[in-house]
Amino acid sequence: MFNRYLKALSCLLLVATAFVTPSQALPLGEREAQHFAREAEKIFREIIFSEVEQTGADYRIDLTGKTIRKTPVQSGSVTFKGFSDAQFAIMRGGAVDTTKLLEGDGVEVEATITADAIKGIIEREIARVNKENRIFDPLSLSFQNGQVRVTGQIDFRKIPGNVLSFLSTGPTPFSAVIKPEHSGSRIDLKVVDAKINDQPMADDSLQQILAWLNPVWDFSILPFKASLESYTISPAGVSFSGTIYDR
């Protein structure tokens, strides 16, 4: 799940780190959809008891300054749209699941997360993996306008089925400039520049990696409508907005 988590981060938080067998991309299917839904439910359970601003059938919760799932949110909000008082009261009572969330007209999410907060997410996820199994260690991110520079060390031996394993017998310095590309339900990753041992990566090798990597996410696998509507990457961090549980 660590590789899948990092792939999801790469689409919004710009961390590209998932490799599988050379013949196919890491699959996006029911398992990943279920994980996405579980994580969304956990987030909504965590915030549902916060102060609410009601406008008609819409219920807005301000996320500014809150810490959600151990991650501080600089600014943002979640708006539960099209719910009756009774439906929202049931969720406020703790019954927050996909079935209940689909009773409304969707949940709108917008947030700004600082670069430091995103780096904290990555550090926690890397720390969860046993050191002998870490593909990347260390990993450093530098946020730029529209893209992210990633540097660190990569151990090709620990990437299952990777045809580039011959490049190294141990951790190897690497750097890459990456940016997301959003089209329809898909989010793909574009590598602007990549170097291994301070040498440019060959184009055929880079294309193989992109073929394994993309799409980093596809909202069409979910059992409900969801979309990423906007995102902005800057040296300060990442801002994004989208809708989930849309009927």
215 cis-preceded (ω within 30 degrees of 0) = yes
Mean pLDDT of the chain: 82
Exposure pattern of 118-130 as b/e (b: 16+ CB <10 Å)?
bbebbeebbeeee
pLDDT of residue 214: 84
Average pLDDT (87-93) is 95
Amino acid at 153: Q
As beta bridge partners, residue 177 has 149, 193
pLDDT of residue 169: 67
Helix runs in the chain, H state only = 2-12, 30-47, 85-92, 98-101, 115-127, 203-213
Closest CA to 174 of 191, 207, 150: 150
pLDDT of residue 201: 85
* CA dist., res. 189 & res. 9, Å (int): 11
pLDDT of residue 177: 93
40 exposed, middle or buried (CB, 10 Å; 0-12, 13-18, 19+)?
A: buried
Question: What confidence category does residue 2 fall into, taking pLDDT thresholds of 50, 70 and 90?
Answer: very low
User: CA torsion sign, 41 to 140 to 77 to 48?
Assistant: positive
Asked if residues 244 and 224 have their Cβ atoms less than 8 Å apart, the reply is yes
pTM of the model: 0.83
pLDDT at 12 over 50: no
- The region of weakest confidence among 12-21, 120-129, 144-153, 237-246 is 12-21
pLDDT at 133 over 70: yes
**Beta strands 71-72; 106-114: pairing state:** unpaired
- The region of weakest confidence among 83-92, 125-134, 192-201 is 125-134
Question: What confidence category does residue 56 fall into, taking pLDDT thresholds of 50, 70 and 90?
Answer: very high
Give the CA distances from residue 36 to residues 97, 140, 152, 155, in Å, rounded to whole numbers and listed in that order: 12, 25, 28, 28
Helices and strands counted in the chain (H then E): 6, 14
pLDDT of residue 20: 25
